[in-house]
Structure 1
Amino acid sequence: MTVTLKNDYLTVQINEKGAELSSVKANDGIEYIWQADPAVWGRHAPVLFPFVGRLKDDQFQVEDQTYPMGQHGFARDMDFEAVEQDDQHVIMELNSDTETLQKFPFEFKLRLHFTLKDHELIEHYEVVNPDSKKDLLFSIGGHPGFNLNLGDNQIQMEDTHIRIAPKQVYNQIPLKAPYTDPKNPIKFDATTPLDLTHALFKDDAIILDLKGEQITLMTENEVNNHGIAFTVANAPYLGIWSPYPATANFVCLEPWWGIADTVNFNGELKDKLGVNRLAAQETFNQEFSMSFF
């Protein structure tokens, strides 16, 4: 089933499966969210939980036990429940159960809050550790895909650029796909706009080391100036991705509180780079916003 939010400017749809944002459509008919063509990438905007990216050998270890786990975890393929809703706000909830505990040995409550304000959609992540004694170790992240041919099907990726604020040089974490190599960062110059091309993603995602600072990315095409302003604070990492060599005119802007395993990772979850440790009965809260123009 699908949950709908609506105001005078935008109509938003969120699937109960995965609590996945599947559509943001302006009243003039422009669709901002990638429509999940399975021939290229069959998702819209999945939540990545309890892992971001690929695990070494697709597994992890907790207390001497090994657990298999696919890329980006399992929440994106599970059914959430709308536990609170009105015309411009919804909370989608997923709770640990016997099925999740068999593959991820931690209790959790995961809530995704979606709030529509004028031309802006705010997506808020709330992770609760309901355990009375045990810490919850997890990663979480967003993976929204944004159309680039907004209002004109002739607009190509090459007609689009990304402006990043603050304008500065960031550390980029290399990928030795599918693993990361944070010990050998390279420089990413964001003092000028990033001109998009498909070949830019031939080595997979661009991963920026944000160190938790606030950053705004604006995608804007040169034909009619439609685009998205994407703002996130306190995320340690941000991915910019589009598929290659299969190609399509969309780009994903991905705030991550966690990251794929490093090339030399030992597999112990407690030692994982970027893992969040949430004490018993505590709550983790983070969010990002998307403005559509």
Structure 2
Amino acid sequence: MTVTITAGHLQAKIAEKGAELQSLVDTSNDLEYIWQADPNHWGKHAPILFPIIGALKEDTYQHEGKSYHLPRHGFARDMLFTVVEKRTDYALFLLESSTETKAKYPFDFQLYVSYELGGDGLVVKYQVKNSGQKELYFSIGGHPAFNVPLEKGLTFEDYYLSFSPKKSRVKLPLKGNYIDYEQRTLGQTNTDLRLTHDMFANDALVYETKGLHSYSIRSEKSPHSVTLSYNNMPYVGFWSTYPVKSPFLCIEPWCGIADTLEASGELSEKLGIQALPPEEVFETKYSITVK
């Protein structure tokens, strides 16, 4: 089942499975901004990453003396959310801990995800509540994929990625599925980055971020663009498939990150992990602006 929300010339569709954004369309010209999940390339649109981001070493972590297994990016993207509230331009979804989740993630939680249309874009909010009596350790992030090119007649290479603020950011290289933190460098994000498929030969481009950031996919050959913005999400990833050349680019704002090569396996020691006391609430959000 999907939920449809509208505001002005924008329409968004969100699936109850994974509370995943499946479509963001400008109805004035039928321009679709979200990747439509062709399984020959990548069969998802914009999965929610929770309670981990990226991969754990051997898909395993330890907590309070026990070992647990979680797949890459966690389980929320594959679970059925409940629609808590629905208005014309707004939808709120909920995923709660259960016997099923506790077998692999022994925490009590409530994960709320909301989508709200307005102006020229969509605001996506995450709210994590610790409904248990112990510290809650988690990561959460987005994985929206945008059509590139955005219109017919153009190619992936006709587009570039624009960074704001235009400054260098710490780049975290991947070695296999894990972050090689000792080899981090300054990435040249102080200028526009022309898109090529080869830039993803070593998987995603990952950067540390702090404060207010926005990233735009643009072309000199088109008036249409898409921008993703957020405040105080500590990491961002950019990804597309390789060597398969796919017509999309993911811009992924994260509160968390894959295991480093040096990771101990203890969940509480994981780089970028969020720690939430009992009954406390964690909130973050990002926005997608279209043109």
TM-score bucket of the superposed structures, by smaller chain: over 0.9
Moved over 3 A (4+): none
**What's the secondary structure of 2:236's corresponding residue?**
strand
Match of 2:241? 243
- Runs (5+) with no aligned partner, structure 2: none
The amino acid that maps onto 1:197 is: T
Corresponding residue of 1:266: 264
Which sections of structure 1, spanning at least 5 residues, go unmatched? none
Contact conserved, 1:15 with 1:22, CA < 8 A, in 2?
yes
Contact 1:148/1:227 (CA < 8 Å) preserved in 2? no
Any idea what SS the aligned residue of 1:183 has? helix
The TM-score with structure 1 as length reference comes to 0.97
Partners of 1:155 and 1:55 lie apart in 2 by 38
Where 1:128 maps in the other structure, the secondary structure is strand
Map of 2:15 onto structure 1: 15
Are 1:122 and 2:123 counterparts? Answer: yes
1:147-166 correspondence to structure 2 within 5 Å: 147-152=147-152, 154-166=153-165
Q: Which residue of 1 aligns with 2:194?
A: 195
How many Å separate the matches in 1 of 2:90 and 2:228? 19
Superposition RMSD on alpha carbons, in Å? 0.8
Secondary structure of the corresponding residue to residue 103 of structure 1: coil
| Cα separation, 1, equivalents of 2:81 and 2:137 | 21
Distance 2:98 2:118 in 1: 34
- Report the count of equivalent residues: 290
CA distance in 2, matches of 1:63, 1:54: 20
Match of 1:179 in 2: 178
In structure 2, how many angstroms separate the alpha carbons of the residues matched to 1:18 and 1:156?
30
Q: Is the Cα–Cα contact under 8 Å of residues 110 and 128 in structure 1 kept in the other structure?
A: yes
TM-score, length basis structure 2: 0.98
Q: Distance in 1 between matches of 2:131 and 2:264?
A: 28
Pairwise mapping of residues 70-85 of structure 1 onto structure 2 (< 5 A)? 70-85=71-86
Aligned residue for 2:182, secondary structure, equals coil
Q: Deviations over 1:233-258 (max 9, x none)?
A: 11110001111011211100000000
Distance 2:234 2:147 in 1: 25
- How far is 1:23 from its partner? 0.2
Q: Secondary structure at the match of 1:99?
A: helix
Number of the residue aligned with 1:4: 4
The AA in structure 2 aligned to 1:270 is S
Indicate the residue corresponding to 1:144 in structure 2. Answer: 144
Counterpart of 1:100 in 2: which secondary structure? Answer: helix
Alpha-carbon distance between aligned partners in 2 of 1:25 and 1:166, rounded to the nearest angstrom: 27
Secondary structure of the 1:93 match is: strand
1:222, distance to aligned residue in structure 2 (A)? 2.4
CA distance in 2, matches of 1:236, 1:112: 19
